[in-house]
Structure 1
Amino acid sequence: MTSQTTSQFAKPRIDARALLGLYDPADTTDWGPIRAAQLHAGSQLALFLLAANVIGAALITLILAPQVPLWQLASWGALVAAVAVAVTFRRLSRRHREALSAPLGDVRDTLLDGIALSAVWSIPPLAFGHLADPDAALGLWIVLTLLMTSSAVAMAALPLATIAFVTITGGAVVAQLMLTGSATLAAAAALFTLLLAMTTFSRGKALVVVRSQEIAIAERDETVSLLLRETEEDKNADWLWEIDAQRRVARANPRFAVAVGVDPKTINGMPFLQVLAGPTWESGNFAPALRLLAEKLKGREAFRDLLLPVYVGGEERSWEMSATPRFDEGGTFIGFRGVGSDVTEARRSAEKINRMARYDTLTGLPNRLLIHETLALAMGEAEKWGSRCAFMMIDLDRFKAVNDTLGHPVGDRLLGRVSERLKQLVTANEMIGRLGGDEFAVVVRDATDTAAVERLAQSIIDTLSRPYEVDQHTLYIGASVGLATGPRDGRTAEALVRSADLALYRSKDAGGGVFHAYEPQLHMAAEERRVLEIALRSAVENNEMHLTYQPVVDAESCTLTGFEALLRWTHPEYGNISPAKFVPLAEEARLIAPIGEWVLRTACEEAARWDLPARIAVNVSAEQLHNPAFAGFVAQALAHSGLPPQRLELEVTESVFMHEGTMAIQVLEKILDMGVRLSLDDFGTGYSSLGYLSRTRFSSIKIDRSFVQGASKGVKEAIAIIRAVVALAESLGMATTAEGVETEEEHQMVQRLGCTKVQGYYFGRPLPVEEARRLVTRHDGESAAA
């Protein structure tokens, strides 16, 4: 500390060339303010210099008047006055008096002032000195000596101009004395001139040193002021404090005393730790940070930004303290000097921001960031103690239907109710949070009791499956849970989350409402899906996709009315892959649109070759219909194949209408305007809202095979549903197609129930394109023969 202080206030080294204004050094010193101070000091004595020149010229005129013609003296005096006035006006210019920084050229230009004045004052000794008698010569020398001395005083701040004036004027006096034969006086004059020039330089240097130190002190004060933010308006400004070697307050800012709740008049001399401890001093129940501060003070260690809880007026405040030890010149420890600040509001804001970053604003539960941080800590503890932790992923079943039918505000309120139920299920051993959307998660810190973890998973499913009352709606949803145990199912938090996600995927595949624990084969299944997705991306280009055609016949006459085009995939390595496996994968990977376009184009081209005017039915996904350009693609496929629009039938499911405000209905209307027919597939298996039938112009309704099989077994509900659908279709002028008819009994049953068309293995399995063509040809021949 002592060495730093000494170096800070040591006499700075001044470059002589910079002092004279000959160049601007590239060091850490800013010479701009120093040069401005030099010029300002010169302006302060400018009038004194003018007076000295005028009085000196008058005295010289009186001394030389008997020997020199008056007109010569008058001319010279006028020249002196003119030069002196010009120099004075230059010194008194506004920019020299008010500038905070001056360029190098302004100081260098003062050399002209010194040369001009010395030139006019060199005239008397050189031009008139030989005419003067000894008494006049002595008087001339005395006046010039006084003038040189007064100029050195008035122009000391500008040593370059002053030295030039003194040197040139002194040189003229020396030359005059040499010419008159006074060698001793000439030597004395030369010595005087040299000493005066040296004195001028020394005095100018001293003035610059003083000014540079003043500038340094001012900058330091300004820096300290900025650091401490000591303004009267700032009640939370920083404050200085100082303690002695016995750790008693030696000198404290009054604001510090007020902040700590102590009288500023009595705080000096009080133990510093007692002041900070406040009401906890007597009980000895100190905060850990205060004990750390005591250790730092005892060890005479510097510290920075030490956070302390301080009780002021019964309220806990947060202070930050910084300090360094102090030593005297002999190296003896004399205490600490430091700065403190009240950071309570800043910490509260930081805590609020931290909470916003780690908690879900809708439910108040921990968000994805805090969940992963907690899971990572739990994994670390499990690794450290050889125990186990667990992670559950929760996905709400049927929540999307609530959002789509009742709107997002109702969905958000439902999520709030879900979070309330989840909060009631956890103990200190678990943390429940929201990952986003309708996904939640549970971190189980200690999962050594596997049965207890599984009971919690089942309890979550049971609790979330109970009905909810939201905005006068009774809502039924459920939950699927995936469970993974660490470190068995993952050595890192990311790996454990991945395992739980795979387990959740299996729960969703099982229909939801259940939980599954992670098993290694789930990873194999996920890898299989990944490999299939990669292969699926190039299946169309590699001609691995093909269509089969399942006949659709008239229920009464059993005549062929058309085919349904069904997509099949034969991989060269994996063989035939079930549509139940690759179609959902194509939808997840957003590949269903290009594959669907290939299916539609291929089906239209094939149907256009048939002589029999049979219809071709093509399944269309919701993603395709939500694309405004799909109607144009249908028109292009019809035009390119030459297939009449009335022979094309597009089959859609209820999922197309689940999103309000989408382009699906507008796209369907454009397609219907072309003459294309529209069929509602799988009616009765989804939400079966009758409102769907009023959304657009369906030509037929397809009854799912599950109802056909149920009715064939005598299930009354299935029979009633088929009758209701048939009656509804007839009232709306629609046909009905029964799917999955496999026996003659089922055919007779759906015929009696009123279905107009049937489809199933009884009439034909999905046929390769060649067999479908032969079937079309045979039916065409039979129709011609009839």
Structure 2
Amino acid sequence: MCAGVVLGLKEPVGGDWSQLQGSQYALLAARLPMRIALHLAGMALFFYLFQPVVGTWIIGGWIAVALIVTADGARLDLTMRDANQRIFTRDEFLRHTFYSGLKGVVWALPALLFMPLADPGTNAIAWGFAAIMLLVSAVSRYGAPAGTVLFCIVTSLGYATGLLLIGQTGLGIIAIITGIFATSGTIEGARVALSAKIAQLGMNEKSEVVSLLLREYEDSDADWLFELDPRRRLRSVSPRLAVALGQELSEIEGRSFLELISGSAWETGRFPSSLHEFAEKLKKRENFSNLVVEVMVNDERRWWELSGASIFNEAGGYAGFRGVGSDVTTQRESSEKIAYLARFDTLTALPNRLMLNESLGEAIGYAAKWRTRCAFLMIDLDRFKAVNDSLGHLTGDRLLGQVAGRLKSLMTENEICGRLGGDEFGVVIRDAADRSKVEAVAKSIIEHLSEPYQVDQHVLYVGASVGAAFGPRDGRSVEELMRNADLSLYRAKDSGGGEFREYEPSLHASAEERRQLEFSLRNALKNEELSLNYQPVVDANTEEVVSFEALVRWNSDVHGPVSPGKFIPLAEDTRLIVPIGKWVMQQACCEAAQWPGHIGINVNVSPEQLTEPDFATSVVHALSHSGLAAERLEIEVTESIFLRDANVARRALEQVMALGCSVALDDFGTGYSSLGYLRKLRFSTIKVDQTFVQGASQASAESLAIINAVVAMARSLGMTTTAEGVETAEEAEMIRSMGCNKIQGYHFGRPMLAAEARQVFEREEARRLA
């Protein structure tokens, strides 16, 4: 510790200057009587020695000044008696140091004023008393080291100067040496005292902390103390430990601690691993901290957190254990619940995506280690969205719960299933060396998940599609395998659902092509790459054109001409069909407004468009902008509109029909045919799909029966029928004979440009005039 810190001139490192100096200066008041007595004795001695030499008045004046300074210094010392209990200021420190220096000046004056007039013997006695004052100050005033040092320096220099001036060189040198030793002794004594004070304050602080912790412990019911003898039996049992064990103090004193907390395991020897670890710590006399132990208290499983250390007697012998414990059952259960929620799906109780990722990562590591294969199956339910949309999410959730139960029942030790989200599930197959077994698992999943479900008095049918990827063949990471399994699932869904497909490298190329197509399609409207073709619809009897169906085409700057069968499903999946559909509606209406007034325009509308709130508004805008009469516009929809939100679709079409537009049901009989659809909405036209027309041309009895039934039903409901896909005169004659009202197909015209459509009108007009 440097002299500046000891003297109070510098801040102590890591300490409080006010607290340390205040505790030292508070000692001055206790030693004040001794200092006053010494000063009064000195004044009396100096009066006796120098009164005959300098006279009464001069020595009396000096004594008066000394009394005033001593009294004022004493008053200041008394004000500092509580300096250890308050903030000790630097102003007080400087004032006391000033008075100490002033006292040194007062006691140095006799050496400069009186000693030159006195004899050597008198001067020797005066110096001797001054030396005693220096010694006493160095010993008794270390509580104020700065003031003491200043007093010693001023006094010793005064007497050294006086003695040297009168020729007593030896005593002068002794005075200087005395001052040096008094000063250094004061500093060293203060250093020891200050170090002791710092240590004492540190101990006091620690004691206060311990007392605070003990008070907190006493005020808390959460923890308890325990003490064990060398045989691990309880002794000095605390009441709280007895409460924690659910027993009386007298019942557990002296009993085995392990027996009390192990329950039935004490008899069977089947201890939980944590309790076994605790027993080993006690057996090996090892200290332990925050050890979480599973215990049984009154046949109830609890979790205790224990900390303890070995204790030894005065002879150094082992005396047992002493420690503290607390019940952390609530925290443990909360942690377990959080861990469960992090890895399990709350709806189905199956592992979630995170846990499936971890399991697949472990399977990949296992396959790499043993040079075998693992597999990941991705499962998607078919027609689940229809259940959700028609019966609500609550029914859908209950259905997912039954799906999870069936899926879990199919798993063996080699598989783990989980829910990825929505209606997607996954299965990790650890050892997939036998490909046929993987296929068997996938087909078993499809078979069991496709069986009917009984949910809330509803019998529901949903199927399943499965895609598979094998590691490391199809990927060496979790992300690769999941992505490739998803691609194979996409292929299975494209095949109509209810299928199992394995990953093939070509699928990645298809996915990349789809990604690039989507990117280009997003810019197709802006780049003016879309156009409309028009296919004529003729009257079955007169073969005169009655309308045209608008068909969108895409000639990409990057990909060239793209088939509608490829980009229309992509547009529907990405909802790009909504802006594209609006554009088609506007363009078709503008073109049809230039045709003869008796020619209509048919525009296909996707289910995605019908669910838009502003669909009817977009139709109104197209009609008003083009000037086309609403009666000339026919909206064509498919039965799939009723699988999304039937009520929304019906309201949208009813709004359009209220404008005067007609609505045709396209591709009737190919998808989800139900006479209920015809009851929900009054269609103007039913279009017979070309598959039935082709079948009828080949004398298929089923196709003929279906066409006849549709025509008869439409006639009875006041609807017209349009047969699609008529390619020959023979097919046209057959359709005409079966009673269809309108015909559409290559026999009467392929899809054509707008200019070519206008030429059709011109030819018909010329034929009528001829």
Give the Cα–Cα distance (whole angstroms) in 2 for the partners of residues 227 and 664 of structure 1.
Answer: 71
How well do the aligned residues superpose, as a CA RMSD in angstroms? 5.3
Runs of 5+ consecutive residues of structure 2 not aligned to the other structure = 313-317
User: Could you say what secondary structure the match of 2:394 adopts?
Assistant: helix
Which whole-Å deviations, capped at 9, do the CAs of 1:429-477 have from their partners, x for residues lacking one? Answer: 2111111110111122223343333222222122111211111211111
Say whether the 8 Å CA contact 1:274–1:281 is kept in structure 2: yes
User: Could you say what secondary structure the match of 1:516 adopts?
Assistant: strand
Compute the TM-score of the two structures, normalised by the length of structure 1.
Answer: 0.76
Q: Which residue of 2 aligns with 1:389?
A: 374
User: Could you say what secondary structure the match of 1:231 adopts?
Assistant: helix
Say whether the 8 Å CA contact 2:640–2:672 is kept in structure 1: no
User: Could you say what secondary structure the match of 2:154 adopts?
Assistant: helix
Paired amino acid for 1:366: P
* Percent of aligned positions that are identical: 43
Q: Which residue of 1 aligns with 2:709?
A: 720
User: Could you say what secondary structure the match of 1:480 adopts?
Assistant: strand
Which whole-Å deviations, capped at 9, do the CAs of 1:605-657 have from their partners, x for residues lacking one? Answer: 43233345522222233334444566665555556555455544443445556
User: Could you say what secondary structure the match of 1:362 adopts?
Assistant: coil
Q: Which residue of 2 aligns with 1:432?
A: 417
Which whole-Å deviations, capped at 9, do the CAs of 1:210-254 have from their partners, x for residues lacking one? Answer: 2333455567789999999993466776999999xxx999x9999
2:26 is equivalent to residue 36 of structure 1: no
Say whether the 8 Å CA contact 1:478–1:513 is kept in structure 2: yes
Alignment map for 1:577-592 (pairs within 5 Å): 577-592=562-577
Q: Which residue of 1 aligns with 2:98?
A: 115
Give the Cα–Cα distance (whole angstroms) in 2 for the partners of residues 222 and 48 of structure 1.
Answer: 27
User: 1:58: how far off?
Assistant: 5.0
User: 1:700: how far off?
Assistant: 4.8
User: Could you say what secondary structure the match of 2:476 adopts?
Assistant: coil
Q: Which residue of 2 aligns with 1:11?
A: none
Q: Which residue of 2 aligns with 1:97?
A: 85
Paired amino acid for 2:72: A
Which whole-Å deviations, capped at 9, do the CAs of 1:634-693 have from their partners, x for residues lacking one? Answer: 555556555455544443445556555998777767766766555444455555677877
Range moving further from structure 2, 492-501 or 184-193 = 184-193
User: 1:379: how far off?
Assistant: 2.2
Q: Which residue of 2 aligns with 1:17?
A: 4
User: 1:205: how far off?
Assistant: 0.9
User: 1:548: how far off?
Assistant: 1.6
**In structure 2, do the counterparts of structure 1 residues 420 and 91 end up closer, same or farther at CA, with 3 Å as the change threshold?**
same
**In structure 2, do the counterparts of structure 1 residues 18 and 659 end up closer, same or farther at CA, with 3 Å as the change threshold?**
farther
2:408 is equivalent to residue 418 of structure 1: no
Give the Cα–Cα distance (whole angstroms) in 2 for the partners of residues 122 and 757 of structure 1.
Answer: 133
Give the Cα–Cα distance (whole angstroms) in 2 for the partners of residues 694 and 141 of structure 1.
Answer: 132
**In structure 2, do the counterparts of structure 1 residues 555 and 287 end up closer, same or farther at CA, with 3 Å as the change threshold?**
same
User: Could you say what secondary structure the match of 2:432 adopts?
Assistant: coil
Which whole-Å deviations, capped at 9, do the CAs of 1:503-526 have from their partners, x for residues lacking one? Answer: 222221221122223344434433
User: Could you say what secondary structure the match of 1:773 adopts?
Assistant: helix
Range moving further from structure 2, 133-142 or 433-442 = 133-142
Paired amino acid for 2:14: D
Paired amino acid for 1:610: W
Paired amino acid for 1:45: L
Which whole-Å deviations, capped at 9, do the CAs of 1:318-342 have from their partners, x for residues lacking one? Answer: 7688999x9xxxxxxx999999977
Q: 1:514 aligns with which of 499, 502, 507?
A: 499
User: 1:374: how far off?
Assistant: 1.2
User: 1:146: how far off?
Assistant: 6.5
Compute the TM-score of the two structures, normalised by the length of structure 2.
Answer: 0.78
User: 1:116: how far off?
Assistant: 2.3
Paired amino acid for 2:534: Y
2:536 is equivalent to residue 551 of structure 1: yes
**In structure 2, do the counterparts of structure 1 residues 225 and 661 end up closer, same or farther at CA, with 3 Å as the change threshold?**
farther
Q: 1:471 aligns with which of 456, 462, 467?
A: 456
Say whether the 8 Å CA contact 2:554–2:561 is kept in structure 1: yes
Range moving further from structure 2, 742-751 or 448-457 = 742-751
User: 1:131: how far off?
Assistant: 5.5
Paired amino acid for 2:546: T
**In structure 2, do the counterparts of structure 1 residues 658 and 274 end up closer, same or farther at CA, with 3 Å as the change threshold?**
closer
Which whole-Å deviations, capped at 9, do the CAs of 1:271-304 have from their partners, x for residues lacking one? Answer: 9999999999999989889999999999999999
Alignment map for 1:198-347 (pairs within 5 Å): 198-214=184-200, 231-232=217-218
Alignment map for 1:616-655 (pairs within 5 Å): 616-628=601-613, 634=619, 637-638=622-623, 641-655=626-640
Say whether the 8 Å CA contact 2:28–2:143 is kept in structure 1: no
Say whether the 8 Å CA contact 2:29–2:77 is kept in structure 1: no
Give the Cα–Cα distance (whole angstroms) in 2 for the partners of residues 279 and 210 of structure 1.
Answer: 58
**In structure 2, do the counterparts of structure 1 residues 228 and 597 end up closer, same or farther at CA, with 3 Å as the change threshold?**
farther
Q: Which residue of 2 aligns with 1:3?
A: none
Say whether the 8 Å CA contact 1:50–1:85 is kept in structure 2: no
2:385 is equivalent to residue 400 of structure 1: yes
Give the Cα–Cα distance (whole angstroms) in 1 for the partners of residues 196 and 448 of structure 2.
Answer: 82
**In structure 2, do the counterparts of structure 1 residues 483 and 161 end up closer, same or farther at CA, with 3 Å as the change threshold?**
same
Say whether the 8 Å CA contact 1:230–1:239 is kept in structure 2: no
Say whether the 8 Å CA contact 1:39–1:107 is kept in structure 2: no
- Tell me how many residue pairs correspond in the alignment: 747
2:356 is equivalent to residue 367 of structure 1: no
Say whether the 8 Å CA contact 2:378–2:485 is kept in structure 1: yes
Give the Cα–Cα distance (whole angstroms) in 1 for the partners of residues 272 and 594 of structure 2.
Answer: 90
Give the Cα–Cα distance (whole angstroms) in 2 for the partners of residues 621 and 376 of structure 1.
Answer: 42
Give the Cα–Cα distance (whole angstroms) in 2 for the partners of residues 283 and 707 of structure 1.
Answer: 76
**In structure 2, do the counterparts of structure 1 residues 197 and 575 end up closer, same or farther at CA, with 3 Å as the change threshold?**
closer
Say whether the 8 Å CA contact 1:612–1:777 is kept in structure 2: no
Q: Which residue of 1 aligns with 2:109?
A: 126
**In structure 2, do the counterparts of structure 1 residues 42 and 575 end up closer, same or farther at CA, with 3 Å as the change threshold?**
closer
Runs of 5+ consecutive residues of structure 1 not aligned to the other structure = 1-13, 327-333
2:155 is equivalent to residue 166 of structure 1: no
**In structure 2, do the counterparts of structure 1 residues 214 and 92 end up closer, same or farther at CA, with 3 Å as the change threshold?**
closer
Range moving further from structure 2, 554-563 or 277-286 = 277-286
Paired amino acid for 2:344: Y
**In structure 2, do the counterparts of structure 1 residues 628 and 286 end up closer, same or farther at CA, with 3 Å as the change threshold?**
closer
User: Could you say what secondary structure the match of 1:548 adopts?
Assistant: strand
User: 1:358: how far off?
Assistant: 1.0
Say whether the 8 Å CA contact 2:668–2:689 is kept in structure 1: yes
Paired amino acid for 1:416: G
**In structure 2, do the counterparts of structure 1 residues 176 and 480 end up closer, same or farther at CA, with 3 Å as the change threshold?**
same
Give the Cα–Cα distance (whole angstroms) in 2 for the partners of residues 393 and 430 of structure 1.
Answer: 13
Give the Cα–Cα distance (whole angstroms) in 2 for the partners of residues 20 and 481 of structure 1.
Answer: 86
User: 1:562: how far off?
Assistant: 1.7
**In structure 2, do the counterparts of structure 1 residues 297 and 677 end up closer, same or farther at CA, with 3 Å as the change threshold?**
same
User: 1:410: how far off?
Assistant: 0.7
Which whole-Å deviations, capped at 9, do the CAs of 1:159-188 have from their partners, x for residues lacking one? Answer: 223312332244345455666776665555
Paired amino acid for 1:30: G
User: Could you say what secondary structure the match of 1:211 adopts?
Assistant: helix
Say whether the 8 Å CA contact 1:651–1:681 is kept in structure 2: yes
Paired amino acid for 1:44: A
Q: Which residue of 2 aligns with 1:77?
A: 67
User: Could you say what secondary structure the match of 1:569 adopts?
Assistant: strand
**In structure 2, do the counterparts of structure 1 residues 627 and 335 end up closer, same or farther at CA, with 3 Å as the change threshold?**
farther
User: 1:419: how far off?
Assistant: 0.7
Q: 1:193 aligns with which of 145, 158, 179?
A: 179
**In structure 2, do the counterparts of structure 1 residues 147 and 692 end up closer, same or farther at CA, with 3 Å as the change threshold?**
farther
Give the Cα–Cα distance (whole angstroms) in 1 for the partners of residues 652 and 64 of structure 2.
Answer: 109
Q: 1:47 aligns with which of 14, 17, 29?
A: 29
Range moving further from structure 2, 370-379 or 123-132 = 123-132
Give the Cα–Cα distance (whole angstroms) in 1 for the partners of residues 364 and 507 of structure 2.
Answer: 22
**In structure 2, do the counterparts of structure 1 residues 425 and 285 end up closer, same or farther at CA, with 3 Å as the change threshold?**
closer
Paired amino acid for 1:462: E
User: Could you say what secondary structure the match of 2:347 adopts?
Assistant: coil
Paired amino acid for 1:117: S
**In structure 2, do the counterparts of structure 1 residues 636 and 79 end up closer, same or farther at CA, with 3 Å as the change threshold?**
farther
Give the Cα–Cα distance (whole angstroms) in 2 for the partners of residues 694 and 161 of structure 1.
Answer: 111
User: 1:373: how far off?
Assistant: 1.4
